[in-house]
Homo-oligomer: A and B are copies of this chain.
């Protein structure tokens, strides 16, 4: 390629106005910026290499974005009602939300922290996603088949958690650890009995992959001392069967600034070391199966005493106030950073296992748990800087990255040799970081994201509440290079999980009549032609359909005080023909993707004429996709017929005019069809699907033409004209699709094929 061509100088017509060098000068871009732009910019229709599933913190959602484009593709609501998705606004999803209520309290938000992708052989498999709620100890399960939340489980014993979710290498269990100690079962004890009555715990939720659901009955917890447990990681390879949970505030300080004592922050960070908990979860599961657990709130809990007796629970000192216990891809080491220490500590699993097997303990904690000798089980410590927090791994052997909160840097180092290789400054305080599949058995390399907290001065100001900043870093070379700053517009992400994009293969559409929250056929689905309104005393139930651009039925009558239910099925086959549904002022909203059935129920508590309409811009006649719920006042005696007559009267001339238009329109459609058929359109799956959709529309048009002709035979120009117009509407929909196909074929270099 000639350089002059490459940089767009010279005579290329399209950009004659402003060449590359002009643009760089105007926008103040350096050569380095241009390279970063080329590494991240994704032209229309382009695909990202990796998908990121990020927590959105207190927003209670999952944020999905692509790498390297750093474009946010979707927010998936997990714990917080969100009307665009219908989550919490249709009856089906309300059942999921209400699974998450705690002790009779309705909870409509979550403080999401650590998402985990389901794994097979220690590698993300793109099937499911789990995420915790720190504020209300719960775990949500999202299916990556449709990116919808399908389960929320409430932790039966914790009052606070943080260390979730993490999965075992084949997603046998989803791990959730306590944070602030409480009385297990959410009971009361005075703080004077903190040491005796307060406890931590780690819960192992059994995942049933065949059902895509957690099975609470087969899940269990391990009682832990009232150290403030933090993050966990599951062992893999040689350490498979074990899990590692760090902690802070091993001082067991209970605050009291209001009494003139120093605050928690002082008392919880006074000692040099906290404890890493080393747990044999495989054996714990066996103990539960053998009946060696106790029940708290009906949930199996292995007591500390049993765990100690059975040799499945150990402690190791770790530098003060750690966050993140990260197992290396080969399962041989566990890396822990202490936020108030300058080192990361690399523990050797081989040495830990040897010490455990030899019962070589340095001491015991106040609860009788054996403490291994830190020095004996350390592989090495690497001095990185101020505030080491969380570690991720590269595809290259022995290479790790650790975020440095106070230094606002990422350190790259060789954890085998204990040697720092590179550092890069980020903007500003970095919490977690995430490399591509960087916590898995086979990291993907290439990129790393710094999840920065305090985004002061990075973006245009948008008020006192700032966005966070996810910075994309290129880790493919020897030196880390900053590529992109992505503001986070909603929520405060803590951790994120990534996966090669081609592993995620979501549904195109639902099987006709699916309740997406159960994944099963909805009993309330109907096919077009079978719609019905069922009236019972005090109750009106509508079984309806939605298709471009009308609902069936359109007019629904109810009496004041009736319980009204609409079950609507989207009868579309086209990939993105989502419809919505709401009844004005009655507060439900359905998001109806093709094939989905969803429902809304409410009490028609006031008389009135309430319109319903499609809440998703679906077609040219979208605004006309409407109907009325007529709520008749109690005791109404209608003075006149409730049957409406047409306000506009059509004549034979109107009919003939529309009929002629339709025949002409058909000619245009025939031309487009002819063009499409002349190409190799069958080589483009997207186009094949669109053509199917267009054929559907033309069949609908044919049907409407039949009704038109029938009316004309009876010289009913009123119905004839209206049906002729409906026939034309279907033609417009077909033409719309045809034009999209044409654009697609032209832009994708379709070829003319011989007949």
> What are 30 residue pairs bridging A and B, where the CB atoms are less than 8 Å apart in the complex?
A6-B20, A8-B32, A27-B38, A37-B41, A51-B462, A57-B84, A58-B83, A58-B616, A72-B72, A72-B487, A83-B110, A109-B587, A135-B589, A136-B584, A147-B462, A180-B613, A182-B610, A228-B623, A254-B646, A262-B707, A263-B550, A264-B627, A266-B725, A321-B623, A425-B743, A427-B743, A453-B618, A461-B506, A464-B508, A464-B510
Interface membership of A675, Cβ < 8 A: no
- Given known A-B contacts A252-B648, A265-B624, A471-B44, A258 and B555 have beta carbons under 8 A apart: yes
Interface membership of A382, Cβ < 8 A: no
- Given known A-B contacts A584-B135, A647-B253, A576 and B455 have beta carbons under 8 A apart: yes
Residue in B closest to A486 when the chains form the complex, CB atoms: B71
A33 to chain B, nearest CB (A): 5
Asked whether A191 lies within 8 Å of B609 as measured between CB atoms, the reply is yes
- Stretch from A353-361, A391-399, A733-741 that touches the partner: A733-741
Interface membership of A210, Cβ < 8 A: no
The interface on chain A, measured as residues whose beta carbon lies within 8 A of the other chain's beta carbons, has a size of 259
Residue in B closest to A501 when the chains form the complex, CB atoms: B460
Interface membership of A275, Cβ < 8 A: no
Report the bound CA distance from A408 to B739 in whole Å: 8
Report the bound CA distance from A249 to B613 in whole Å: 14
Asked whether A585 lies within 8 Å of B136 as measured between CB atoms, the reply is yes
Asked whether B487 lies within 8 Å of A73 as measured between CB atoms, the reply is yes
- A-B contacts besides A14-B481, A44-B471, A102-B585, 18 pairs, CB < 8 Å: A7-B34, A29-B41, A75-B490, A84-B492, A146-B464, A159-B608, A179-B623, A192-B640, A192-B643, A195-B647, A255-B554, A256-B554, A256-B644, A264-B554, A429-B736, A463-B507, A464-B578, A466-B578
Asked whether A460 lies within 8 Å of B24 as measured between CB atoms, the reply is no
Q: Across the interface, which residues of B come within 8 angstroms of A18, CB to CB? A: 476-477
Asked whether B630 lies within 8 Å of A17 as measured between CB atoms, the reply is no
Asked whether B57 lies within 8 Å of A621 as measured between CB atoms, the reply is no
A291 to chain B, nearest CB (A): 29
Interface membership of A387, Cβ < 8 A: yes
Q: CB within 8 A of A257: which of B82, B553, B577? A: B553
Residue in B closest to A548 when the chains form the complex, CB atoms: B265
A385 to chain B, nearest CB (A): 9
- Stretch from A233-241, A373-381, A715-723 that touches the partner: A715-723
Report the bound CA distance from A8 to B58 in whole Å: 42
Flag A617-649 by CB within 8 Å of B: 1 or 0 each: 110110111111011110010101111111110
Asked whether A633 lies within 8 Å of B464 as measured between CB atoms, the reply is no
Q: Across the interface, which residues of B come within 8 angstroms of A102, CB to CB? A: 585
Report the bound CA distance from A56 to B75 in whole Å: 12
The 6 A-B pairs of least Cβ separation, nearest first, read A147-B463, A258-B553, A37-B41, A263-B550, A464-B593, A266-B726
Q: Across the interface, which residues of B come within 8 angstroms of A585, CB to CB? A: 102-103, 105, 107, 135-137, 159, 186
Asked whether B38 lies within 8 Å of A34 as measured between CB atoms, the reply is yes
Interface membership of A458, Cβ < 8 A: yes
Interface membership of A148, Cβ < 8 A: yes
- Given known A-B contacts A84-B492, A258-B533, A576-B455, A14 and B721 have beta carbons under 8 A apart: no
Flag A445-474 by CB within 8 Å of B: 1 or 0 each: 000000001111111111111110001000
A677 to chain B, nearest CB (A): 21
Residue in B closest to A162 when the chains form the complex, CB atoms: B623
Name the interface residues of A475-526: CB closer than 8 Å to any CB of B: 476-479, 481-482, 485-487, 489-492, 494, 501, 504-510
- Given known A-B contacts A73-B467, A74-B490, A135-B589, A47 and B620 have beta carbons under 8 A apart: no
- Given known A-B contacts A73-B467, A83-B109, A460-B51, A608 and B186 have beta carbons under 8 A apart: yes
Interface membership of A407, Cβ < 8 A: yes
Q: CB within 8 A of A160: which of B4, B191, B471, B611? A: B611
Asked whether B427 lies within 8 Å of A45 as measured between CB atoms, the reply is yes
Flag A72-90 by CB within 8 Å of B: 1 or 0 each: 1111000011111100010
